[in-house]
Structure 1
Amino acid sequence: MFGLSALDLARIQFAFTMSFHILFPAVTIGLASYLAVLELSWLRTRRQVYVDLYHFWLKIFAVMFGMGVVSGIVMAYQIGTNWSYMSEFAGSIMGPVLAYEVLTAFFLEAGFLGVMLFGWTRVGPGLHFLATCMVAVGTLISATWILAANSWMQTPQGYAIEGNRMVPADWLAIVFNPSFPYRLMHMVVAAYLTTALIVGATGAWQLLRKRDNPAVRKMLSMAMWMILLVAPIQAVIGDFHGLNTLEHQPAKLAAMEGHWQNEPGEAVPLLLFGIPDMEAEKTRYAVGVPHLGSLILTHSWNGQFRGLKEFPREERPNSLIVFWSFRLMVGLGLLMIALGAWSLLLRRRGRIFTTRPFLRAALWMGPAGLVAILAGWVTTEVGRQPWVVYGVLRTADAVSPHGAGALALTLGLFVIAYFFVFGAGTVYVLRMMKKGPQAFELHRATAGGPGEGRTPMRPLSAADVGNDDDSDGDGDDNPDGIGRGAALDRDGKGG
């Protein structure tokens, strides 16, 4: 297929399924914590706006959680089918770590998810809040185990090799490997940022459509506070993560910077633009800032770090891919910081909900977190090559002995299936976001007899796909006008 080998196709297939999967957990990690904050806010203030937002985002969370579970099952099977030699060689370490994720996080989430989704009128407020918190904690525990496994593949330690297998020698060293703390913090904060951007974009969309109500204002306000706080923190975490990468994966760091060799006594510039050429061993059309690479990566004015030429050709990651995926991630991060700063400026002037250029920027930045996460994972995984367990097991030695034809066929089937299944799910979620928060009435939630209106608790009943007109001329898609006033506070307070 297009001259690709079986190894290339196996990597593309895993990258494709991984890229789909990582987006859903990233959103559900952030949404679960956001839902816990909303419910806590309601318990403390009893303001209706928090109830309306909770039930609006709860339904979106349920759909995203379901898609994350389905896509995650595919990932687990692919490790066995496409990377059987890795399973045989490192399975005694990878298997238990992934099993711990199921036994702790997944069981915790499954145990409380039903109460969270359907128990609002069936259990007490305290128990329901506990269920929401347990689901949020479960998502964080899940991220912890998954990042522990992946980080160990990046910076392996605590193992011994007996025959042709890796065996655990120190489980604490395996779990708390050198890159684990930085990568866990980086991923969790990225999930919170991604969620805040999506929530903010949803609020901005509603305001641009003239659906100005307290729930929409509260949604946008909370999202912008989160971005303002978390985006700079993510930049600091990224700096520490970069120093850790320089220490433990210097070839990856050199590829990220497009840096090939050091000149005696000269500082390393930070390249803003360039096209790394793996064959010519140089970065063409390089545009850099003198000394800045040394300052950022070594925290000294004239510090140097190893260039790609210091590593054997067969141990160099593809600098062209890693160079640009890293810059895409960093560039989006800088835009997130700018968006947060802009929101603070407008908030102080009392114009955060009415400045349309800002609202359009918030809307367009909605997917930025998802794109940045994908770019970050490309940087991490491509930068690890040619190793699947860094410095121990090569990717070429880990792949299953499948033919290129079989892998091309299954890759095509994956693309078709994912397009229909997750494409439909994504469209559905976007329709729910487009509809916006509605008023949640307790008496409507408990009703439901013949001819009685109620608010369905089934997530797939949440979006009314039929109301896409504007027959009342109020600027929204709700012909009865509910969309503009349904989420007003009972006490009349705004966001």
Structure 2
Amino acid sequence: MLASLDAVLLARAQFAFTMAFHIIFPAFSIGLASYLAVLEGLWLWTGREVFLNLFKYWLKIFSIGFAMGVVSGVVMSYQFGTNWAVFSDKAGPVVGPLMAYEVLSAFFLEAGFLGVMLFGMERVGRGPHYLATLLVAAGTLFSAFWILTVNSWMQTPAGYGVNAQGQFVPVDWWAIVFNPSLPYRLVHMVLAAYLTTALVVGAVGAWHLLRERGGGPRSEGARVMFSMAMGLILVVAPLQIFAGDAHGLNTLEHQPAKVMAMEGHFQSHPHGAPLLLFGLPDQDAATVRYAIEIPKLSSLILKHDLNAPLNGLDTVPRENWPPVPVVFWSFRIMIGLGFLMLGLGLFALIARIKGGLYAWRPLHLYALAMGPAGFVAVLAGWTTTEVGRQPFTVYGALRTAESHSPLAAPAVATSLAAFAVIYLCVFAAGVFYIVRLMSHAPHPGETGPSPAEPIRTAGLHPGPAMSPGHGLQPAD
């Protein structure tokens, strides 16, 4: 049975499986690192203990998420050599240096100052510790930049030549790094990371506010985190919608077949294309069955003209079509969740104006239900991006079927099964522990040195070592 399976399909499934586990942790870490920098900055500025308590509370969660992201990322890199050796050989002269820059400029920055961030507040002092927190946050953003540079070059390759061995070789590094889709993808991904973090923080705050209504202890930290999260969602959700629209227009210019699949446009529309809200794409019959559509709205969105013509997949050779049903539905999941996020932000704004931000149970239930929405949206968006690029690994230049290692299907299937078992066990345990930490409200007794306290108390010069139960620890 294993011998009858397609080795390329199995290799793609393995990469998709490991990527799905990996991407949720960087998406969370990027936003959470910035949130920690804001919390520590607010504590230093205002002296309010609640900000320090929240910093210490989320720092524990960040340390676990960061570690899980590192472990899953290491596995991802090995697959380039095991399952995608031809891709590594052909694209290595371009992709290899970019990945190395990510390690040297981003990962080293994060890893180098993470220890100070986790354990150094009582040892190095307030200023150096805050600098370490800022550098860790900057490192996560640099990491996103370099990884998205690699992916964006694969989506919109530029600045390269092809040598006699068929390898992609750099000709213009500026064009490679700042390829046509990088700015749009970078903004879209960073905003997605901030939304993902805000939704998780908001859900945790909502959970503890709901527990208060059920007779639990009052938590000032829950109020502060919920207010901050709802404010960020209100600002970032509309920005993400505009950024997504700009990204879509860029994709239409450089990867039109992907947009055709997202829109479900099998046929061209010379006098204005409809927006297909829902339907069942039938790739073999080249049609969307049971379609619910709004006439000409797709042309208005993509061309800003109701009557603008839009090409369909009938203008693209069938062998270059992406898997339309997957792209069609993953795109709609992402868009639908985006508007639900905007709705949450607006609902919270109304509650804030009416003085019910901490009292409206429907708002708290809404926020709690939306807690995982950022992760689902990130996975749906990544699916749209990567499946929509098919059948190419380097768009228009290297096909996926020509990129894999010469491995037999049973070997790939065995490694996929091993990954599935190990990931589900290890990462389930990690996620369970993170959720368990979130279930406890920020402890009002978790105090730290106030910025106004004497120098020795604030830890601005070396003093006696603190006891293991005091200060910052990655977990209780």
TM-score higher than 0.5 here? yes
Tell me which residue corresponds to 2:43.
42
Residue 458 of structure 1: CA displacement?
3.6
- Provide the aligned C-alpha RMSD in A: 1.8
Q: 1:215 aligns with which of 212, 217, 221?
A: 221
Measure, in 2, the Cα distance between the counterparts of 1:255 and 1:449: 60
Partner SS, residue 160 of structure 1: strand
1:259 aligned to 252, 256, 265, which one? 265
Corresponding residue number in structure 2 for 1:471: none
Alignment of 1:200-239 (within 5 A): 200-210=202-212, 211-239=217-245
Residues 323 and 388 in structure 2, CA contact (< 8 A), matched pair in contact too:
yes
1:454 aligns with 2:466: no
Superposition deviation, residue 414 in structure 1 = 0.3
Equivalent residues of 1:269, 1:289 under 8 A apart: yes
Report the CA distance shift for 1:373/1:35 in structure 2 as closer, same or farther (over 3 A).
same
Letter in 1 for 2:259: L
Partner of 1:480: none
User: Separation in 2 of the partners of 1:61 and 1:457?
Assistant: 12
Q: What amino acid sits opposite 1:87 in the alignment?
A: S
In 2, the alpha carbon distance for the partners of 1:381 and 1:222 equals 33
Residues in 2 aligned to 1:410 and 1:343: alpha-carbon distance in whole angstroms? 46
**Residues 1:4 and 1:302: Cα distance change in structure 2 (over 3 Å):** farther
SS at 2:158 equivalent: coil
- Please give the alpha-carbon distance, in whole angstroms, between the structure 2 residues aligned to 1:83 and 1:142: 23
Listed as ranges, the gaps of 5+ residues in structure 1 are: 463-495
Task: State yes or no: 1:365 paired with 2:370.
Answer: yes
What secondary structure, in the 3-state scheme, does the structure 2 residue paired with 1:68 have? helix
Q: What are the Cα deviations for residues 334-381 of structure 1, in whole angstroms up to 9, with x where unaligned?
A: 000000000000000110111111101100000000000000000000
Q: Do the aligned partners of 1:108 and 1:138 also contact (CA within 8 Å) in 2? A: yes
Misfit runs of 4+, over 3 Å: 1-4, 442-450, 455-458
- The separation in 2 between residues aligned to 1:449 and 1:392, in whole angstroms, is 59
8 Å CA contact 1:445–1:454 kept in 2: the answer is no
Name 1:244's counterpart in structure 2.
250
State how far apart, in whole Å, the 1-side matches of 2:241 and 2:162 are: 38
Match of 1:110? 111
Equivalent residue, structure 2, for 1:308: 313
**C-alpha distance in 2, partners of 1:129/1:165?**
45
Tell me, yes or no, if structure 1 residue 288 matches structure 2 residue 293: yes
**Matched residue SS, 1:24:** helix
The equivalent of 1:56 in structure 2 is 57
Deviations 1:245-288 (A, max 9, x none): 00000000000000011244x21010000111110011111110
Secondary structure of the corresponding residue to residue 209 of structure 1: helix
Please give the TM-score of this superposition, normalised by the length of structure 1: 0.90
Q: Which TM-score applies when normalising by structure 2?
A: 0.94
Contact 1:83-1:400 at 8 Å conserved across structures: yes
Question: What are the superposed Cα offsets for residues 293-330 of structure 1, whole Å, 9 maximum, x if unpaired?
Answer: 01001111111222011101100001100000000000
How far 1:454 moved relative to its partner? 2.8
Q: Which residue of 2 aligns with 1:165?
A: 167
CA distance in 1, matches of 2:62, 2:312: 44
Q: Work out the percentage of aligned pairs sharing the same amino acid.
A: 58
| 2-structure distance, mates of 1:39, 1:449 | 22
The correspondence of residues 431-446 of structure 1 with structure 2, limited to 5 A, is 431-438=436-443, 439-442=445-448
Does the CA contact (< 8 Å) of 1:445 and 1:456 recur in 2?
no
Give the residue type in structure 1 aligned to 2:426.
V
- Equivalent in the alignment of 1:492: none
Tell me the amino acid that sits aligned with residue 201 of structure 2. V
Question: Residue 198 of structure 2 corresponds to which residue in structure 1?
Answer: 196
Task: Give the paired residue count.
Answer: 459
2:161 alignment partner, SS class: strand
Letter in 2 for 1:358: L
Q: Which runs of 5+ in 2 are unaligned?
A: 450-456
CA displacement, residues 435-471 of structure 1 (integer Å, 9 cap, x when unaligned)? 1211323489999999x88336442x42xxxxxxxxx
* d(CA) in 2 for partners of 1:225, 1:248: 35
Partner of 1:30: 31
* Cα separation, 2, equivalents of 1:188 and 1:16: 22
Say which structure, 1 or 2, has more relative contact order (CA 8 Å, 6+ apart).
Answer: 2
The answer on 1:336 being equivalent to 2:341 is yes
Alignment partner of 2:395 out of 376, 390, 394: 390
2:359 to 341, 348, 354: 354
Give the Cα–Cα distance (whole angstroms) in 2 for the partners of residues 445 and 170 of structure 1.
50
What secondary structure, in the 3-state scheme, does the structure 2 residue paired with 1:93 have?
helix
Name the residue aligned to 1:71: 72
Counterpart residue identity of residue 168, structure 1: P
Q: Which residue of 1 aligns with 2:278?
A: 273
